[in-house]
Amino acid sequence: PLAPSRPVPRPGVLAIEAYVPGKSGAPGLAKVHKLSSNETPLGPSPKAVAAMRAEAAKLELYPDGTATRLREAIATRYGLDPARIVCGAGSDELLSFLAYAYLGPGDEGIFTEHGFLVYRIAILAAGGTPVVVKERDLRADVDALLAAVTARTKIVYLANPNNPTGTYLPFDEVRRLQAGLPPHVLLVLDGAYAEYVRANDYSAGLDLVLEANNVVMTRTFSKIHGLAALRVGWMVAPSEVADAVNRIRGPFNLSGAGIAAGAAAIADDAHVAAAVAHNDTWLATMTDAVRDLGLAVTPSVANFILVHFPAEPGRSAAEADAFLTTRGVITRRVSSYGLPDALRVTIGGEEANRAFLDALTAFVRGET
Ligand code: PMP
């Protein structure tokens, strides 16, 4: 057969649907309340900003390719061995690297029905086959996950709390999942929203990583630490997994600014505590207020809520989204997560939260 007349991506690449980020503005409106990307209303720690600024004096120098300062700061904060920590340009980079290191053509990667879209992209980009498992009440179903494992399964991704549902899987269930997996299957616990969780069993996830040799936890500086623009994430993993990912990652995958800001942010416990306290208050207030309007809200332990709308003309999620946008309130449609009748709404600052509740009230009352 003739060779193609132009470069052609290898099989599978064009089957990937590119990630489409949420809206960040509204046409014609100068000021919007952006509640679409689970960003923190408190912003980053001032110490992180100062550390980032100091990096401006040495932009011509390559950053430390091993991000040692950041790994040590994380290790100190959580009592971990820095050798088992790998940092990424956002945790999504690490989620991808794990797929590239452990999956190939013919292999399967498992995630839940309403799991983070990056899992699918990472598995397909690695040449593997995504296997999507049904949830129960918008929550991971451990029995169904275990039933989906085959001889070709190499990786299981589980976000806890999950995005976009905000639901939490108690740790005994996570442990049951790990215990039921064949030892060669890598379990990736995605803790992007870990800091918001108030359940007293959450830190057991880190313990499981330390005990088992097939469990990884990924974390991010994008959410509670307010450094999304700098792209900083990390994972703690068994040494062999950390070694594999270190072989795959780019030599300087984090910026100097990201390393410095992350190290300062993780040491600022007071800033994190303020963000958690703010979230606790407003998560409850927003959930109750939306329910009072007659709309269902999935119980969330994260910094966002999933609001369900009736699939009826005049009341639908699509129409609510359009209406809220005209009022300058930007939320996230989650049709791409298989949830066409819901909107995901970030817990923002007081002004944004009130603007959202006012606009939603007007929508429910049929105002135009
Ligand atoms: N995991 C989950 C569940 C997320 O919601 C996100 C952010 N949307 C990420 C990972 C990736 O975040 P980042 O790459 O900014 O660390």
Residue pair 303/349 in contact (Cβ under 8 Å)? The answer is: no
Question: In which residue are the tokens 């193609």 written?
Answer: 4
Does the beta carbon of 141 lie inside 6 Å of ligand 1?
no
Structure tokens at 262: 């992350």
**Residue 262, domain CATH:** 3.40.640.10
Domain around 287: 13-43+270-364
Q: Are residues 147 and 294 in the same domain?
A: no
Q: Residue of the nearest CA to atom 5 in ligand 1?
A: 163
Query: Alpha-carbon distance 166 to 347, whole Å?
Result: 12
Tell me which of 231, 249, 268 is where a domain ends.
Answer: 268
Tell me which of 268, 289, 324 is where a domain ends.
Answer: 268
3-state secondary structure of 83: helix
State how many domains the chain has. 2
- CB-based contacts of 267: which residues, under 8 Å, 6+ apart? 47, 73, 76, 77
Q: Are residues 201 and 329 in the same domain?
A: no
Is residue 3 in some structural domain?
Answer: no
Is residue 144 in some structural domain?
Answer: yes
Is residue 6 in some structural domain?
Answer: no
Is residue 32 in some structural domain?
Answer: yes
Look at residue 22 in the predicted model and tell me its pLDDT.
80
Does the beta carbon of 116 lie inside 6 Å of ligand 1?
yes
**Residue 318, domain CATH:** 3.90.1150.10
Ligand 1: centre distance to CA 314 (Å): 32
pLDDT over 90 (residue 246): yes
Does the beta carbon of 90 lie inside 6 Å of ligand 1?
yes
Q: Residue of the nearest CA to atom 8 in ligand 1?
A: 37
Q: Are residues 109 and 208 in the same domain?
A: yes
Ligand 1: centre distance to CA 240 (Å): 24
- The β-bridge partners of 297 are 307
Q: Are residues 227 and 135 in the same domain?
A: yes
Does the beta carbon of 222 lie inside 6 Å of ligand 1?
yes
Q: What is the pTM of this model?
A: 0.96
Q: Are residues 251 and 173 in the same domain?
A: yes
Sign of the alpha-carbon dihedral angle for 128, 132, 138, 143: negative
Is residue 129 in some structural domain?
Answer: yes
Tell me how far CA of residue 304 lies from CA of 185, 274, 353, in angstroms. Answer: 31, 17, 11
- CB-based contacts of 245: which residues, under 8 Å, 6+ apart? 86, 94, 97, 98, 101, 235, 237
Look at residue 276 in the predicted model and tell me its pLDDT.
97
Look at residue 348 in the predicted model and tell me its pLDDT.
98
Ligand 1: centre distance to CA 62 (Å): 26
90-119 average pLDDT score: 97
Is residue 169 in some structural domain?
Answer: yes
Residue pair 349/226 in contact (Cβ under 8 Å)? The answer is: no
Write the pLDDT tens digit of every residue in 207-241. 999 999 999 999 999 999 999 999 999 999 999 99
Q: Are residues 117 and 263 in the same domain?
A: yes
Write the pLDDT tens digit of every residue in 335-355. 999 999 999 999 999 999 999
Write the pLDDT tens digit of every residue in 13-69. 998 999 888 878 888 888 899 999 999 999 999 999 999 999 999 999 999 999 999
Query: Alpha-carbon distance 319 to 74, whole Å?
Result: 43
ipTM rounded to 2 decimals: 0.99
Tell me how far CA of residue 120 lies from CA of 22, 37, 81, 110, 177, in angstroms. Answer: 18, 19, 30, 9, 20
Q: Are residues 105 and 197 in the same domain?
A: yes
Q: Are residues 247 and 285 in the same domain?
A: no
Residue pair 188/115 in contact (Cβ under 8 Å)? The answer is: no
Q: Are residues 219 and 300 in the same domain?
A: no
3-state secondary structure of 275: helix
Alpha carbon dihedral 132, 138, 140, 144, in 10-degree steps, equals -60
pLDDT over 80 (residue 317): yes
Tell me which of 268, 294, 327 is where a domain ends.
Answer: 268
Is residue 83 in some structural domain?
Answer: yes
Q: Are residues 187 and 111 in the same domain?
A: yes
Q: Are residues 179 and 165 in the same domain?
A: yes
108-123 average pLDDT score: 96
Q: Are residues 161 and 187 in the same domain?
A: yes
3-state secondary structure of 204: helix
Look at residue 221 in the predicted model and tell me its pLDDT.
98
